[in-house]
Amino acid sequence: MKQYELIIFDWDGTLMDSAAKIVTCMQQAAAMCDIDVPSNDAVSHIIGISLKPAIKQLFSIDDEQLADRLVEAYKEVYLGADTTPCPLFNGVEDMLSDLVSNQHTLAVATGKARRGLERAWQQTGTGHFFTTSRCADEAESKPSPDMLLQLLNERGLSPSQALMIGDTTYDMQMAQVIGMDRVGVSYGVHAQVNLEKHQPKTIVHSISELHQVLTA
């Protein structure tokens, strides 16, 4: 694969195995707010979108107050009541270390809020690998390309000089719309067949395969 000036990773479902916790917390938040509990698949489909837009889409609601209640319930469960582990996928630290050692510049574009990403970095000790990042509270929600455009502008780069890596169609869409190369990962929350619709350079099935592709 060609040498890119910037390699941009999604976080949840791409570097961190957090889908199970997100699903569980969203279902508990629904129960707390006395609304129908969504299925695992329904929650998985909206992972990657910023929290409030994701909630409004998941529950098909326009009620801002109800959406805000669900947001607060989700945060309460995520930060306190739920103990589902969120480990990095096997091999992530080795891959990031190798990429940085070989002079690659790394970034994150995530549906997490800034506090959430900082918390994840602190828990995993991986923040030092990334030169820059954009979060849900700093840009328009995926699949808008706003996060990517901000990162490119900050680094003085064009879309052709960067690569987006993610596990959702939202990651693929936001890169595709600005002509940025992209790599899909099939081990996250969206099916390979849906990722393929957005014409990624390739789709990988493990961190070890992603590592090989990025260092080839």
pLDDT score of 213: 97
The answer as to whether 1 is a domain residue is: no
Helix (H, G, I), strand (E, B) or coil at 159: helix
Average pLDDT, the chain: 95
Q: Vertex 193, ends 143 and 46: CA angle to 5°?
A: 35
Write the CA distances from 196 to 13, 73, 173, 191, 203, integer angstroms: 17, 35, 11, 9, 8
User: Do 51 and 129 belong together in one domain?
Assistant: no
Write the CA distances from 189 to 51, 53, 60, 88, 167, integer angstroms: 16, 18, 20, 15, 6
User: Do 32 and 93 belong together in one domain?
Assistant: no
Spatial distance between the Cα atoms of 193 and 200, rounded to a whole number of angstroms: 11
Query: Quick check: 2 pLDDT over 90?
Result: no
The answer as to whether 157 is a domain residue is: yes
Helices in the chain by DSSP H: which ranges? 19-32, 40-46, 51-59, 64-76, 92-101, 114-124, 146-155, 169-176, 192-196, 207-215
Last residue of a domain, one of 81, 98, 128: 81
User: Do 37 and 101 belong together in one domain?
Assistant: no
Tens of pLDDT, residue by residue over 142-199, are 999 999 999 999 999 999 999 999 999 999 999 999 999 999 999 999 999 999 999 9
Q: Under 8 Å CB-to-CB from 28, ≥6 apart: which residues?
A: 73, 77, 81, 82
Tens of pLDDT, residue by residue over 20-62, are 999 999 999 999 999 999 999 999 989 989 899 999 999 999 9
pTM of the model: 0.91
pLDDT score of 83: 80
Last residue of a domain, one of 29, 49, 81: 81
Q: Residue 193: which domain range?
A: 6-18+87-215
User: Do 37 and 23 belong together in one domain?
Assistant: yes
